[in-house]
Amino acid sequence: MSWYTRAKFGLVRAFLAGGLWCSGLTGLYRFGRFFGTCESLINYKLRRRYRKRLAFIFGPDRFSPAEVRRLTRAWFQRVRCDKIFYLVFDRVPQADMLSRIDFVGRDYVDEGLARGKGVFLSASHAGTHHITTLLLATLGYGISGVRDRKEGAMRLHMQDVFARRCPITHVIRWFFAEEFPRNLFRCLKRNEILGAALDVDRERAPHLRRQSVRIFGQERQWLTGTLQIALRCGATILPFFCASLPGFRFQLIAHEPLVDPASSRDEADLVAEAMQRYADRIEAYIRAHPEHISKV
């Protein structure tokens, strides 16, 4: 990463840290909403892409023009506030952070760990997936994640910052999607939490396995490698989401297991069933939270 990029993010972080010191998280959140509102008025290309995606998912006549404008503004505000929170995460006191997390379905995660065979969180790119691991670490969970090798400049910069300044994040480990899966097996065999977003349409590597699913009326080919590893380890497989709420509050959502971890059925059938249930969960989540649409 170039010195210019580091300096740029350093200046942004210094500005946001000053705002946090002066007005607290509430004032910083209001600034994020104001910034997002201005961005929704100026960035017409991204605004058009979001509205096109909204019409594709819900149909062109589902929302009135006023509702489309409201949802578009809410989407910009959510994205901007999430980025601001990510940039100041290491400066937020842990006690304050804990008070802002609502964990729905936490019993599913704890029961899965109690089985002793690991937990696989099948996350999604919808919403605040880059903050999810930070929130789980704040709650005391150690977690490993599977990610793309190509990361954005902001995330690369902040991962370096977290490694130096934020002890909470030291329980997070990352593996690259195209690497040999030995580390993923070891993670689940040690009864740890492993997370990955499987809703990836583009081909990361030719050798990675894929499964056809139906979502929003279309056929998609999504990655299945991490899911197959979890099945072979007998891990508990949970669909998992993170919703951004007003005031820098977040709701972690774990649903019931996608498949019975003790099932002896053919692996191909289990993969197909689990992936379709996973796709159904994502579709239901996005329909309930249109402002969390990703990939616009």
pLDDT at res. 277: 95
Whole-prediction pTM: 0.91
Q: Is 285 helix (H, G, I), strand (E, B) or coil?
A: helix
pLDDT at res. 63: 92
Query: What is d(CA 22, CA 8) in angstroms, rounded to the nearest whole number?
Result: 21
pLDDT below 70 — which residues of the chain? Answer: 1, 202-208, 296
Strand ranges inside the chain, DSSP E = 101-104, 119-123, 143-147, 172-176, 193-197, 210-215, 218-223, 236-245, 249-254
Query: What is d(CA 85, CA 249) in angstroms, rounded to the nearest whole number?
Result: 10
**CA-wise closest residue to 86 among 161, 18, 21:** 161
Query: What is d(CA 45, CA 28) in angstroms, rounded to the nearest whole number?
Result: 26
Residues whose CB is less than 8 angstroms from the CB of residue 152 and which lie 6 or more positions away in sequence, other chains included:
none
pLDDT at res. 112: 95
**CA-wise closest residue to 267 among 215, 231, 230:** 231
Using only C-alpha atoms, the chain has a radius of gyration, in whole angstroms, of 19
Query: What is d(CA 154, CA 152) in angstroms, rounded to the nearest whole number?
Result: 6
Tens-digit pLDDT profile for residues 190-210: 999 999 998 877 665 656 678
